[in-house]
Structure 1
């Protein structure tokens, strides 16, 4: 199987990921941060080591303000709905946002009378300028995807953060498509909250996610309960990360995530990014050579992710994906990719698109095999 659905979940994982998870289950499957015995301490050591690695990787000011979650969606919900909202507060997002952002925003609109603006960039416009033109005295949060899971576009966080900081608002970044692939520096990029999954670019297992929060940001926990801290109090503790980590966390998953992070560190983010971009360029050039194919997103001369979405004119994207899977053993994803606003921008809301997304272990030969398959399918269906 050729796996080109890396934007959904990375596969295969580094060998050490599964080994670390098995070790955690078999050797120290205790509850970290709760009991004082040696197995609980060993489990806690793995969790805290992972926080330290994440702080270093993303240049975060405080290990204690790194919170583990189930995935990027739960992290984003905590970031968005954990803020103290008042009627008529204003939020700015982009039309590239995933439903993990859009749906919490729409719920705030409905339930708390919050105003939300989704900015769209046309040719010749810059994201920072669009956001600045939309800022008001009521703007409390700007939330942007760092990289689109549909178009592969990478947004300029530094420029956006400069605009946000001038208006006394917070900047939250959805790094679901970029964490572990594109260099992210929370300090220099002015990011107040950063959310991402462990199972994509960081090469960890599913069921892991992270929310990184600057110290000045106050968040109300969405889930309260046992934390192993201040157990005598009926109130949720104020200490981090316990405040946002009620219940038993996924220690085996975090152990696997640690190995994924170590793989990223050993290979180097720049190397990984250049590899995935090279695969995307090969794919785009090959699709253009086939002809009759509409490709969305940045061209090959621009910075972009290893995500290539396209439509073979006259061919249903879902049919294309099914044929690729059943007859060529190539896994891609067709449809709206949980980002309907992005498809509105691309003009593909009615049809959806085929998305091929590349990862650390994909090769140029696999891309060439995929291109040959697309050409054969197009010829068989249309000619």
Structure 2
């Protein structure tokens, strides 16, 4: 199989992740639930992973990182924990349903919502975002990069808007954590939500949320925390405030190993290799009959994701053919980004998404490009 679906989940994991996960499976108990070796070992794994994430994102301290089961849970925690009826929130058409659906649910409860449109290439109009600010605007919720087009959001510009009007900046880093440099302090990010199983190369079931000091987020879940058991409310101290219940220590251990690998390899090196693969792919598919490529032409402003269509062919038919004929795994359909498809005019057709890993070989990318060309040429003859 030629795997070109890394934007959905990383199929490749470094040996460090596998080794740390196996060690945890054999020896880790429940973190924070006792003083014996098994629980202490689990606590050490959890803290080490917090440390690595805090360093990666330049957080003030490890305690500002709370673990979740994925980016969706992190975003739900932020949206339901910070916003309320009467607040006005600004978001964009680029967002994933993990942002849109919680906001729609709160809109029914009295939240006011403005969704900033995009142009034909999927780029957000900063001036419209700035013009959308109202007296009761509380937050801007924005993706760092589109999971469909790969377009990178200009966070510096968004931060300038948020800072000018004292708004909260909530960032979805599902497609950028482990891929692009993120400095939450320099970027003025109040809340950063991320998954562990994509660019961070960890196992599924891992993710997290960064919350800046001084910002209180109502917990999405309440229950056991290992501390202050006699209090009726969830402990206020981070990270336990947002970590009710048993943590996925085994998955967190795998994430820790993946972070170790990224630190040794360098995310800049990983990103460069991934972009080289995408650039090569884009060169190889140039001139394919009926090819429509989405997203900005400026590859400096994209993550290694390419969405496309062949004429009017249903995207699902293209992806099925690629897998059945060549074992090429891509994603088709709506990609949980309905407003982005409406902006691109692909609501019914969907799009075929190719997303690139740094371990892909050039000959694999060439095969994928040649297969796509073959499909298009055969389709055009029908």
Q: What is the TM-score of this pair, normalised by structure 2? A: 0.96
Moved over 3 A (4+): 123-128
Q: Return 5+ residue gaps in structure 1 as ranges.
A: none
2:193 paired with 1:192: no
Q: 1:281·1:300 contact (CA, 8 Å) conserved in 2?
A: no
- Please give the residue correspondences for 1:120-199 in structure 2 after superposition, counting only pairs within 5 Å: 120-122=117-119, 127-199=125-197
1:63 equivalent in structure 2: 62
2:116 paired with 1:119: yes
Shift of 1:233: 1.3
Q: 1:90·1:140 contact (CA, 8 Å) conserved in 2?
A: yes
Q: Distance in 2 between matches of 1:86 and 1:315?
A: 43
RMSD of aligned Cα (Å)? 1.4
SS of 2:332 mapped into structure 1: strand
SS of 1:290 mapped into structure 2: coil
Shift of 1:127: 4.2
Provide, for residues 60-104 of structure 1, a one-character-per-residue CA deviation record: whole Å limited to 9, x for no partner: 1121121000000000000000015132x1000010000000000
Shift of 1:185: 0.5
Q: 1:227·1:245 contact (CA, 8 Å) conserved in 2?
A: yes
Q: Return 5+ residue gaps in structure 2 as ranges.
A: none
Q: 1:335·1:352 contact (CA, 8 Å) conserved in 2?
A: yes
Provide, for residues 137-156 of structure 1, a one-character-per-residue CA deviation record: whole Å limited to 9, x for no partner: 11111010000011110011
| Greater mean deviation of Cα atoms: 165-174 or 287-296 | 287-296
Q: 2:313·2:349 contact (CA, 8 Å) conserved in 1?
A: no
1:24 equivalent in structure 2: 24
Q: Distance in 2 between matches of 1:278 and 1:129?
A: 33
Q: 1:284·1:295 contact (CA, 8 Å) conserved in 2?
A: no
Aligned length: 380
SS of 1:82 mapped into structure 2: helix
2:319 paired with 1:321: yes
Q: Distance in 2 between matches of 1:175 and 1:26?
A: 32
SS of 1:360 mapped into structure 2: coil
Provide, for residues 298-321 of structure 1, a one-character-per-residue CA deviation record: whole Å limited to 9, x for no partner: 115542111000000042211111
Q: Distance in 2 between matches of 1:256 and 1:138?
A: 42
**Aligned pair partner of 2:275 in 265, 277, 290:** 277
Shift of 1:360: 2.1
Shift of 1:287: 2.1
Provide, for residues 182-228 of structure 1, a one-character-per-residue CA deviation record: whole Å limited to 9, x for no partner: 01100110000000100000000000011000012111111100101
1:287 equivalent in structure 2: 285
Change in Cα spacing, 1:346 to 1:123, as seen in structure 2 (3 Å) is: closer
2:356 paired with 1:358: yes
- Please give the residue correspondences for 1:31-70 in structure 2 after superposition, counting only pairs within 5 Å: 31-70=30-69
Q: Distance in 1 between matches of 2:107 and 2:299?
A: 39
1:13 equivalent in structure 2: 13
SS of 1:319 mapped into structure 2: helix
Q: Distance in 2 between matches of 1:283 and 1:312?
A: 15
**Aligned pair partner of 1:209 in 207, 210, 215:** 207
Q: Distance in 2 between matches of 1:37 and 1:128?
A: 54
SS of 1:271 mapped into structure 2: helix
Provide, for residues 88-140 of structure 1, a one-character-per-residue CA deviation record: whole Å limited to 9, x for no partner: x1000010000000000000001x21111110233798643332111111111
2:310 equivalent in structure 1: 312
Change in Cα spacing, 1:274 to 1:130, as seen in structure 2 (3 Å) is: farther
SS of 1:150 mapped into structure 2: coil
